[in-house]
C-alpha cells in the first residue's frame, strides 16, 4: 500500500533538506504512522511533490534505510522495514504477553560489505544487458574479457589515479584466487616461493598461500605497515612480500609515501616481487588515498591485487590484478595454463555496470553509508577512557583496543551468547605479541543493528571490568 506523506520542509532552516526529510520519515515510523504494510512513494514522485531535487529524497531514503527503518525492494519500491510498538501506536484491545522474540544474530565479522548493490536497479540492468548479449559457447579468455579489462583500466584511472593499460589487467576470482595464481607463478625449479606477510595480517592470505605451496613467513609490522628498516635487516631475501599499504589489515594505518619508496627500493635491490593488496581503498573517510605502490617509480615488480569484494560483494568472487615486469609475465603465463575460473556472464555484467557509471555511483552511496556508521562508532565509543578506537580512517572495519582489565576473548564469547558475532584482534597475529581488542566490521549491519550491538558489547565490557575490579579489591 503506497502512502501519502503530509510532509512540510522548512527551506529557511540551516538543516539540510535531506536531513529534514529523513527526520520526518523517522518520526512517522516511530509514531506508527508509517508501518511495514506501507510502500513509500518513488523518489522522483516525492521529489516533485515536495519541490526538491530527486537527490534530496534519495539521500533521505538512503539515510534511514541505513538505520534499518526502510528496505529497498528494487522495482517493488521502498518499504518500511520495522514495526515499532509504543509511541503513537494504536493500543491493542487486549494486552497479551508478547512471545519471546528469538534474537536475530548481529554479525560484525569484518570483510562484509552492505548488500545494497544487489538491490541497485543499475546492477539489475547490467545483468539484463549481459543476458541479452549474443550466446557464447566457448571459454572466456584466460586473462579476462577485454570489455571488463578496458572498463577497469578506465575505472582505476578515475578512482585510484592509476595509469593502467587494459593489457596489464588479469581478471581473477578475488584475492584468494589471485594469491593461488601468484604462488603458482612464482614457484621455481628450486621449489616453493618464500612469501613474507605482515604480522598482524590477513589470516586468509596466510592460509591460502600456504595451501598453494608457498613458504609463508610473518614479519612484525606497526600500525602503518611494513618498515624498510626491518626489511633491510633481513638475513635472506624472500621471493615476494604481501603488503596492505593503503589500510594496514587489520590495524588500519597507512604507509607514508617516504616509507613506500624505501620499501620499493629494498624490493628492487633484492629482486623481491611486491604484492600490494589494495582491498578497500575505495572507502577513505578522512583523507585522500596515497598513491598506490604500483603507481610509484621503481624497478621492483609490483603486482596490485584488487577485489570487488568490498566495493560490491565477496558473493561475486571477482577481482583483478594489475601486473608488471617479469613477475607479471609469469602470472599471465600461469593463468593461460590454468584457465580462468571467472564466469564470462559475470564479467560481462560487471563491465556493463562499470561502463554505465553504476559502480561509481554505488561506491559514492556506500561511502556515505559507511561514513555514517564510522561516525556512530566514534559517537558511542570515542569518549571512553578504557577503550581506544583505531582503523577508522577508511574501509569498513574498526578496532577497539580494550584495557587489560578485560580479556577480549571473553567479550567475544559472551557477545555470541547475547546474539552478537564479533572477532578478537588476537586471531590476526601469526606469532606472539597479540593485542587485546576487537575487530568490528560495520559494513553489513544496519545503523540500528550496529548501535544495538555496541550497547551489548559495552555492557559486557563494563560488567567484566566491574567484576574484575571487585575480584581484585
Ligand atoms: C586484507 C584483505 N584483502 C583482501 C580481501 C578480499 O578477499 P577476496 O577478494 O578473496 O574476497 C579481504 C577481505 O576481507 C581482506 O581483509
Q: Is the CB of 202 inside a 6 Å radius of any atom of ligand 1?
A: yes
Give the span between the Cα atoms of 152 and 163, in whole angstroms: 11
Widest pairwise Cα distance in the chain: 80
Q: In the chain, pLDDT over 70 holds for what percent of residues?
A: 92
Q: Is the CB of 111 inside a 6 Å radius of any atom of ligand 1?
A: yes
Half-sphere exposure of 366 (CA within 13 A, CB side): 31
Mean pLDDT of 268-273: 96
Q: Is the CB of 278 inside a 6 Å radius of any atom of ligand 1?
A: no
CA of 172 to the centre of ligand 1 (A): 13
Give the pLDDT confidence of 278-314 residue by residue, as tens digits. Answer: 999 888 877 777 889 999 999 999 999 999 999 999 9
pLDDT at 83: 64
Res. 87 pLDDT band, cuts 50 70 90 = very low
Residues 6 or more apart whose Cβ sits within 8 Å of residue 51: none
Looking at the CA of residue 202, tell me the nearest atom of ligand 1: 1
CA of 326 to the centre of ligand 1 (A): 25
pLDDT higher than 60, residue 317: yes
Please choose, from the candidates 267, 139, 264, the residue with its C-alpha nearest in 3D space to the C-alpha of residue 195.
267
pLDDT at 125: 97
Give the span between the Cα atoms of 413 and 422, in whole angstroms: 9
CA of 71 to the centre of ligand 1 (A): 27
pLDDT at 389: 95
Q: Is the CB of 249 inside a 6 Å radius of any atom of ligand 1?
A: yes
Res. 168 pLDDT band, cuts 50 70 90 = very high
Please choose, from the candidates 71, 84, 95, 78, the residue with its C-alpha nearest in 3D space to the C-alpha of residue 33.
84
pLDDT at 279: 93
Mean pLDDT of 149-177: 95
Residues 6 or more apart whose Cβ sits within 8 Å of residue 334: 181, 184, 185
Q: Which residue among 307, 317, 399, 430 is best mutated to probe the pocket of ligand 1, counting the most ligand atoms within 8 A of its Cβ?
A: 307
Q: Is the CB of 277 inside a 6 Å radius of any atom of ligand 1?
A: yes
The full DSSP string for 27-47 is: HHHHHTSS-TT-EEPPHHHHH
The full DSSP string for 135-185 is: P--SPPPTT--HHHHHHHHHHHHHHH-----GGGEEEESSHHHHHHHHHHH
Q: Which residue among 110, 111, 320, 425 is best mutated to probe the pocket of ligand 1, counting the most ligand atoms within 8 A of its Cβ?
A: 111
Residue 412 contacts residue 423 (beta carbons within 8 Å): yes
Give the span between the Cα atoms of 294 and 305, in whole angstroms: 10
Res. 85 pLDDT band, cuts 50 70 90 = very low
pLDDT at 66: 67
Look up residue 291 and give its DSSP letter: P
Give the span between the Cα atoms of 207 and 63, in whole angstroms: 38
Mean pLDDT of 136-151: 96
pLDDT higher than 50, residue 146: yes
State CA 7 to chain mean position distance.
35
Looking at per-residue confidence, does 101 or 122 come out higher?
A: 122
pLDDT higher than 90, residue 78: no
Q: Is the CB of 298 inside a 6 Å radius of any atom of ligand 1?
A: no
State CA 355 to chain mean position distance.
22
pLDDT at 98: 46
Mean pLDDT across the chain? 88
Residue 209 contacts residue 197 (beta carbons within 8 Å): yes
Give the span between the Cα atoms of 337 and 329, in whole angstroms: 12
CA of 275 to the centre of ligand 1 (A): 13
Q: Is the CB of 276 inside a 6 Å radius of any atom of ligand 1?
A: no
> Which protein residue has the closest C-alpha to ligand 1 atom 4?
279
For the ranges 37-51, 137-151, 370-384, 431-445, the one whose mean pLDDT is highest: 137-151
Give the span between the Cα atoms of 27 and 196, in whole angstroms: 53
Give the pLDDT confidence of 338-383 residue by residue, as tens digits. Answer: 999 999 999 999 999 999 999 999 999 999 999 999 999 999 998 8
Residue with cell 563494563: 462
pLDDT higher than 80, residue 95: no
Residue 443 contacts residue 372 (beta carbons within 8 Å): no
> Which protein residue has the closest C-alpha to ligand 1 atom 7?
175
Mean pLDDT of 158-181: 95
Mean pLDDT of 382-398: 91
> Which protein residue has the closest C-alpha to ligand 1 atom 3?
279
Is the N-terminal amide bond of 200 cis, ω within 30° of 0?
yes
3-class SS at 322?
strand
Q: 10-19, 102-111, 249-258, 462-471: which has the minimum mean pLDDT?
A: 10-19
For the ranges 15-29, 35-49, 226-240, the one whose mean pLDDT is highest: 226-240
Looking at the CA of residue 177, tell me the nearest atom of ligand 1: 10
Looking at per-residue confidence, does 156 or 235 come out higher?
A: 156
Res. 90 pLDDT band, cuts 50 70 90 = very low
> Which protein residue has the closest C-alpha to ligand 1 atom 14?
111
Cross-strand partners of 215: 194
Q: In the chain, pLDDT over 90 holds for what percent of residues?
A: 64
pLDDT at 37: 77
Is the N-terminal amide bond of 159 cis, ω within 30° of 0?
no
CA of 48 to the centre of ligand 1 (A): 42
CA of 243 to the centre of ligand 1 (A): 12
Looking at the CA of residue 308, tell me the nearest atom of ligand 1: 9
Mean pLDDT of 3-19: 76
Q: Strand 169-172 vs strand 194-199: parallel, antiparallel, or unpaired?
A: unpaired
pLDDT at 110: 94
Mean pLDDT of 224-243: 89
Which segments of 356-446 does DSSP mark as H helices, in order? 358-381, 408-417
pLDDT higher than 50, residue 96: no
Amino acid at each position: 500500500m503506497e502512502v501519502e506523506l503530509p510532509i512540510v520542509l522548512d527551506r529557511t532552516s540551516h538543516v539540510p533538506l535531506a536531513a529534514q526529510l529523513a527526520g520526518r520519515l523517522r518520526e512517522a515510523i516511530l509514531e506508527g504512522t508509517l508501518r511495514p504494510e506501507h510502500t513509500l512513494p518513488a523518489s522522483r514522485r516525492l521529489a516533485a511533490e515536495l519541490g526538491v531535487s530527486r537527490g534530496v529524497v534519495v539521500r533521505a531514503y538512503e539515510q534511514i534505510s541505513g538505520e534499518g527503518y526502510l528496505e529497498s525492494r528494487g522495482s517493488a519500491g521502498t518499504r518500511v522495514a520495522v514495526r515499532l510498538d509504543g509511541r503513537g501506536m494504536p493500543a491493542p484491545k487486549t494486552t497479551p504477553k508478547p512471545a519471546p522474540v528469538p534474537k536475530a544474530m548481529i554479525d560484525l565479522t569484518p570483510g562484509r560489505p552492505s548488500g545494497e548493490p544487489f538491490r541497485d536497479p543499475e546492477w539489475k540492468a547490467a545483468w539484463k544487458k549481459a543476458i541479452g548479449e549474443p550466446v557464447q559457447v566457448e571459454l572466456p579468455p584466460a586473462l579476462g574479457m577485454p570489455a571488463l579489462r578496458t572498463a577497469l583500466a578506465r575505472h582505476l584511472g578515475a578512482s585510484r589515479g592509476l595509469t593502467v593499460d587494459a593489457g596489464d589487467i588479469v581478471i581473477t576470482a578475488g584475492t584468494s584466487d589471485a594469491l593461488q595464481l601468484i604462488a603458482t607463478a612464482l614457484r621455481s625449479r628450486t621449489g616453493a616461493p618464500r612469501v613474507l606477510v605482515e604480522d598482524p595480517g590477513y589470516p586468509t592470505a596466510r592460509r591460502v598461500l600456504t595451501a598453494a605451496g608457498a613458504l609463508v613467513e610473518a614479519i612484525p609490522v606497526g600500525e602503518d605497515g611494513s618498515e624498510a628498516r626491518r626489511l633491510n635487516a633481513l638475513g635472506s631475501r624472500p621471493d615476494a612480500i604481501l603488503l596492505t599499504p593503503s589500510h594496514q589489515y587489520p590495524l588500519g594505518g597507512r604507509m607514508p609515501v617516504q616509507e613506500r619508496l624505501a620499501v620499493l627500493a629494498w624490493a628492487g635491490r633484492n629482486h623481491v616481487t611486491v604484492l600490494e593488496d589494495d582491498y578497500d581503498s575505495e572507502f577513505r573517510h578522512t583523507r585522500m588515498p596515497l598513491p598506490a605502490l604500483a603507481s610509484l617509480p621503481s624497478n621492483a615488480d609490483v603486482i596490485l591485487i584488487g577485489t570487488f569484494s568490498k566495493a560490491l560483494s565477496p558473493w561475486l568472487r571477482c577481482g583483478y590484478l594489475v601486473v608488471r615486469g617479469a613477475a607479471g609475465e609469469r602470472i599471465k603465463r600461469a593463468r593461460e595454463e590454468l584457465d580462468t575460473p571467472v564466469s564470462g556472464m559475470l564479467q560481462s555484467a560487471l563491465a556493463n555496470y562499470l561502463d554505465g557509471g553504476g559502480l561509481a555511483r554505488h561506491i559514492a552511496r556506500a561511502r556515505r553509508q559507511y561514513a555514517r556508521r564510522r561516525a556512530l562508532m566514534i559517537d558511542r565509543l570515542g569518549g571512553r577512557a578504557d577503550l581506544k578506537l583505531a582503523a577508522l580512517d577508511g574501509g569498513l572495519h574498526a578496532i577497539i583496543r580494550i584495557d587489560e582489565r578485560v580479556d577480549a576473548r571473553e567479550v567475544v564469547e559472551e557477545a555470541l551468547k547475547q546474539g552478537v558475532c564479533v572477532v578478537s584482534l588476537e586471531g590476526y597475529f601469526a606469532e606472539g605479541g597479540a593485542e587485546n581488542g576487537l575487530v568490528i566490521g560495520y559494513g553489513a549491519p544496519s545503523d540500528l543493528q550496529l548501535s544495538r550491538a555496541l550497547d551489548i558489547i559495552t555492557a559486557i565490557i563494563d560488567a567484566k571490568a566491574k567484576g574484575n575490579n571487585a575480584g581484585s579489591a
